[in-house]
Structure 1
Amino acid sequence: METSIRMAAAEDARALLAIYAPYVEQTAISFEYEVPTVAEFAGRIQKTLERYPYLVAERDGTPVGYAYASAFHGRAAYSWSVECSVYVEQGCRQGGVGRRLYQSLEGLLVRQNILNAYACIAYPNPASIAFHERMGYRTIGHFTQCGYKLGRWWDMVWMEKMLAGHPERPEPLLPIGTL
């Protein structure tokens, strides 16, 4: 079954929220306690698309996953770094959807002049760690018992991937809408 990748729109909020909700309700993959409303989720998509890519993976016109980039930090000197997130429908995991989403996302980020990609992962999460390692990320930080969810404390790790070289004077970030 072919997977297609496209840019998300606020109208995708309901379908993408259906993918995200089990991660909030049943796992520590998301540190949110409450599933956002459809309107709130649509707002998140719109806000992300002001600057960064927000991608949807579809099979036969039905969303099965999504990935997006967000600011790594709000200060100007961090403009060339992003945090990446990917969520795949529970029944579609380990089928290449996440890989396709990240490859597409990283390709767009390079075109935007982004140099560093980061992933923040609840730990332990061997599947996510292994996925990111296969995608070329390496662990650069480990925070101990920094999140409390589902009746226990969770560690968090940061993983990093250099998307491009670091020139003496980097090109400015190009908002996703300008590509």
Structure 2
Amino acid sequence: MSLVIRTAESTDVHKLLDIYAYYVTDTAVTFEYEVPSLIDFQERMQSIQAFYPYLVAEEGGRILGYAYASAFHPRAAYAWSAEVTIYLDKAARGKGVGSKLYRTLENYLKEMGILNLNACIAQTDVEDEYLTNTSQVFHEKQGYQLVGTFHQSGYKFKRWYNMIWMEKLCGNHDKEVRPVVSFQELDNKESSS
């Protein structure tokens, strides 16, 4: 069986929420305390998909993870920057699924005109059962660089964790820059070709 990266569909929401729920209840990877309801999660997904790619990795009909981009900041001058996010089924980690998901996501974002990729990551000075620095290492391997640390800014499981920002530049920052197009516009152009 081969790994397939595809656009998330509304029928995937249950499986994606199952993957995310583990990170909420058992880790400090996300600083969210409670698993969102299915409706809330679906609304988040639809909101992101209105402009950005939301991708799933699937093998043999089983979803192994998902990745998406979202607005880095709502002001117009930030249009060329996007925040990237990835979550993998815990059994799929360390098998190259995340790298393939991110490469595909990054390629779409480049086509859209995005120049800066930003990742907000939970980080710790002392690894524990809730948080290791695996995500930071993963992003470094993908070419991201640490650009900032917010010390002891997240409190979960009666412990304080850091939050770091990592960045990857994926395009030229020319004086004249083309407008960013939505993933849907990009997808429509490819469909009509």
Q: TM-score range by the shorter chain?
A: over 0.9
Q: What does residue range 33-48 of structure 1 map to in structure 2 within 5 Å?
A: 33-48=33-48
1:45 Cα deviation (Å)? 1.1
Instruction: Name the structure 1 match of 2:172.
Output: 165
Partner of 2:135: 128
Q: TM-score with structure 1 length normalisation?
A: 0.98
Q: Distance in 2 between matches of 1:162 and 1:50?
A: 24
SS in 2 for 1:106: helix
Matched, 1:104 2:104: yes
Question: Which amino acid is 1:128 matched to?
Answer: S
User: 1:22, 1:45 → 2: CA distance?
Assistant: 18
Match of 2:15, as an amino acid? A
Q: Which residue of 1 aligns with 2:18?
A: 18
What is the distance in 2 between the residues matched to 1:61 and 1:4? 9
List aligned pairs for 1:26-175, cutoff 5 A: 26-124=26-124, 125-175=132-182
Counting aligned pairs with the same residue, the percent is 48
Gaps of at least 5 residues in structure 2 are 125-131, 187-193
Report the Cα distance in structure 1 between the residues aligned to 2:39 and 2:58, rounded to whole angstroms: 22
- 1:104-149 CA-to-partner distances (Å, cap 9, x unmatched) read 0000000000000011111124211111011000000011111111
- Aligned-pair RMSD on alpha carbons? 0.8
Amino acid at match of 2:166: M
Q: Which 4+ residue blocks in structure 1 deviate beyond 3 angstroms?
A: none
Q: Secondary structure at the match of 1:118?
A: strand
Q: SS state of the match for residue 177, structure 1?
A: helix
Say whether the 8 Å CA contact 1:86–1:98 is kept in structure 2: yes
SS of match in other structure, 1:174: coil
User: Counterpart of 1:154 in structure 2: which amino acid?
Assistant: Y
* 3-state SS, counterpart of residue 148 of structure 2: strand
CA distance in 2 between partners of 1:98 and 1:147 (Å):
25
Contact 1:12 / 1:42 at 8 angstroms: preserved in 2? no
SS in 1 for 2:91: helix
Q: 1:15 Cα deviation (Å)?
A: 0.6
TM-score after normalising by structure 2: 0.91
Tell me which residue corresponds to 2:129. Answer: none
